């Protein structure tokens, strides 16, 4: 309630000059700066960007002059911007693509989670995968991370950024908030409102990100780290970002040697339960 009032009042007060316009902290730029500290240049590198959407990070990645930059986003007809009231249909090749000054740029439509194994092989292997704001839209997060692992060259670098559960209890555990309306008993309404409510089947745009309809799973911070380790990532290092309250996390990780394909809650010990090496 207070949050909704603030949302309505802020633009009016800003227009009247009674409030300084609020600058959204640029999370993506901070993460890009962290990448440049790890890799000041991408010369000779093959880079995959998943979910470029508006191309802002594509421009940043192109400025590091990789040999190849493959940008993959899901087919335009399946995309609508549900974070605003207006739909923003994308063309097959988004308009920002032409402006990217890089000879080795490619734009490809496809859902990285459900590309056929043949299409995945055809993409080749990459020195760097840049994947921000994408994981929590995908209903099979472990499989998604396995695919990122598969697509990297040995020692390749992953930059991953994701939204996290805001649930006041779940965020402290190694678990995932599944956003499925029929089974959703409680979700918080907004960032500064800890009231738990019943989820609605038709999302209300005023409600928090965790109720928007294109978000399927919101993991806890610990869950993201666990998934990466389970898939064989090493040197996992969190990137400090300007987003407060652990609402999101950014990290870098390297492809290590896959430790095996079995899952045990005691760690990577042999067990009859396989994560599986299928893609």
Ligand X SMILES: C[S@@+](CC[C@H](N)C(=O)[O-])C[C@H]1O[C@@H](n2cnc3c(N)ncnc32)[C@H](O)[C@@H]1O
Nearer residue to ligand X within complex by CB, 46 or 137: 137
Q: Judged by CB under 6 A, does residue 158 bind ligand X? A: no
H helices of the chain, where? 2-15, 27-38, 56-62, 117-123, 141-151, 221-231
Q: Judged by CB under 6 A, does residue 181 bind ligand X? A: no
Q: Judged by CB under 6 A, does residue 73 bind ligand X? A: yes
User: For residues 276 and 279, what is the distance between their CA atoms, to the nearest angstrom?
Assistant: 8
**Across-strand partners of 143?**
none
Q: How far is the CB of 53 from ligand X (least distance, A)?
A: 3
Q: Judged by CB under 6 A, does residue 247 bind ligand X? A: no
The label of the residue with tokens 């695919």 reads 147
User: For residues 45 and 66, what is the distance between their CA atoms, to the nearest angstrom?
Assistant: 5
Q: Judged by CB under 6 A, does residue 55 bind ligand X? A: no
- Is beta strand 217-219 parallel, antiparallel or unpaired with respect to 176-178? antiparallel
User: For residues 277 and 51, what is the distance between their CA atoms, to the nearest angstrom?
Assistant: 24
User: For residues 187 and 208, what is the distance between their CA atoms, to the nearest angstrom?
Assistant: 9
Q: Judged by CB under 6 A, does residue 70 bind ligand X? A: no
Nearer residue to ligand X within complex by CB, 53 or 221: 53
Q: How far is the CB of 158 from ligand X (least distance, A)?
A: 14
Q: Judged by CB under 6 A, does residue 217 bind ligand X? A: no
Task: Using CB under 6 A, pick the residue from 50, 151, 189, 223 that binds ligand X.
Answer: 50
Task: Using CB under 6 A, pick the residue from 72, 148, 231, 253 that binds ligand X.
Answer: 72
Interface ranges with ligand X (CB under 6 A): 28, 50-53, 57, 72-74, 79, 111-113, 132-134, 137-138
């Amino acid at each position: 309630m207070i949050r909704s009032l603030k949302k309505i009042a802020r633009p009016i007060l800003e227009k009247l000059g009674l409030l300084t316009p609020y600058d959204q902290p640029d999370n993506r730029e901070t993460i890009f700066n962290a990448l440049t500290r790890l890799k000041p240049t991408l010369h000779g590198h093959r880079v995959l960007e998943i979910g470029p959407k508006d191309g802002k990070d594509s421009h940043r990645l192109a400025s590091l002059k990789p040999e190849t930059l493959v940008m993959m986003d899901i087919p335009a007809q399946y995309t609508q911007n549900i974070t605003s009231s207006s739909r923003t249909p994308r063309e097959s090749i988004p308009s920002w693509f032409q402006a990217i000054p890089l000879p080795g740029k490619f734009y490809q439509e496809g859902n990285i989670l459900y590309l056929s194994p043949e299409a995945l092989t055809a993409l080749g292997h990459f020195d760097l995968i840049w994947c921000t704001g994408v994981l929590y839209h995908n209903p099979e997060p472990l499989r998604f991370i396995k695919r990122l692992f598969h697509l990297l060259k040995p020692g390749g670098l992953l930059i991953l950024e994701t939204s996290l559960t805001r649930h006041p209890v779940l965020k402290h555990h190694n678990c995932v908030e599944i956003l499925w309306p029929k089974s959703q008993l409680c979700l918080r309404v907004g960032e500064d409102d800890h009231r738990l409510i019943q989820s609605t089947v038709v999302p209300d745009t005023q409600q928090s990100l965790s109720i928007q309809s294109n978000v399927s799973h919101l993991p806890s911070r610990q869950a993201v780290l666990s998934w990466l380790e389970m898939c064989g990532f090493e040197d996992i290092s969190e990137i400090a970002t300007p987003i407060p309250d652990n609402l999101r996390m950014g990290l870098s990780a390297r492809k290590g040697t896959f430790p095996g394909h079995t899952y045990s809650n005691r760690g990577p010990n042999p067990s009859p339960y396989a994560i599986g090496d299928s893609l």
